[in-house]
Amino acid sequence: MNQEFYIQGQVALITGGNVGIGRITAIELAKKGFKVVIAGRSLERTQAVLDHIKSLGVDEQAIFLPLDLASLASVRECAQLFLQLNLPLHLLVNNAGVAGLRGLTKDGFEMTFGVNHLGHFLLTQLLLEKMQSSGLSRIVTVSSRAHKRTAGIDWDALCQPTRSWTGIHEYAVSKLANLLFSAELAKRVKGTSISTYSLHPGVVDTEIWRALPNWARPLLRLRGFLTPEEGALTTLHCAMHAPHQESGLYYADSKPMQPAALGQNSELAAELWRRSEAWVKQTNESNPRSKGN
């Protein structure tokens, strides 16, 4: 077995930790002694997880921070709230995601791409310095084997409303972006105390599919759903057991897997990073509240 990464009292921030894979991840990390910070849209919907962790009798109680990944202003506010806690950050789990939603984010990006990739890209950027000062740390980003279902990234489409009827194509693009982001990030933090991993959790029966049309859901069930407990296993492996030297790799079934050819395209990863960086900078400069910060 690989040497365990975590030690008692380390701090983990998890996006979307109120339901599904994120909920199980938060609970299991708390059991291992992590101080868990859950970032999500609703305290009311997260309270049950906070109460559950408190009932475990662990030393550290979980904390909730408001976060709407469809709003880059909200991402910035969430990062600032975390920094104000004056805690180290040893583990960032970019877990939250949507599928089947249509339209645009508050900043004008295709909804699924904006939530699944761009919001997490910015959150990671804003917390990277804190992680670098916290010693050994890692970033785990939940991707999907759905990244294999797209032939590329249409950059113009990322700034337009959802085109496909089901949103499944846009979901595949966003999951490819998650994988490419993690791989490019690994290059940029190489030689530091930070490692980064992306993963396919399996096809899991969670609320991420709630926005799909009713006729499409049976198609997913035919492929066989995993439980959230089963789906969280690879996330937890990457969070606590994956070797530092495997930073940048894509995992499935708790072991490294080869992604699709596009997922190994370093030029595409670099271009995604460049555009993502420009987009988040542009939205910050156009936000009156950011002036003078």
- The string of pLDDT tens digits covering residues 168-223 is 999 999 999 999 999 999 999 999 999 999 999 986 555 444 545 554 555 555 45
Mean pLDDT in residue range 47-63 = 93
What are the CB-based long-range contacts (under 8 Å, 24+) for 149-155? 150/176, 150/262, 151/262, 152/262, 152/268, 153/177, 153/268, 153/272, 155/275
Amino acid 276: pLDDT: 98
Taking only the tens place, the pLDDT of each residue in 131-144 is: 999 999 999 999 99
Q: How far apart are CA 149 and CA 234, in angstroms?
A: 21
Question: Known catalytic residue: 171?
Answer: yes
Mean pLDDT in residue range 259-275 = 98
The candidate with the shortest Cα–Cα distance to 27, out of 2, 57, 4, 6, is 57
Domain 11-288: homologous superfamily in CATH: NAD(P)-binding Rossmann-like Domain (3.40.50.720)
Residue of 6, 171, 250, 251 marked active site: 171
Residue 279 neighbours by CB distance under 10 Å: 20
Whole-structure pTM over 0.85, yes or no?
yes
Amino acid 292: pLDDT: 36
Amino acid 215: pLDDT: 47
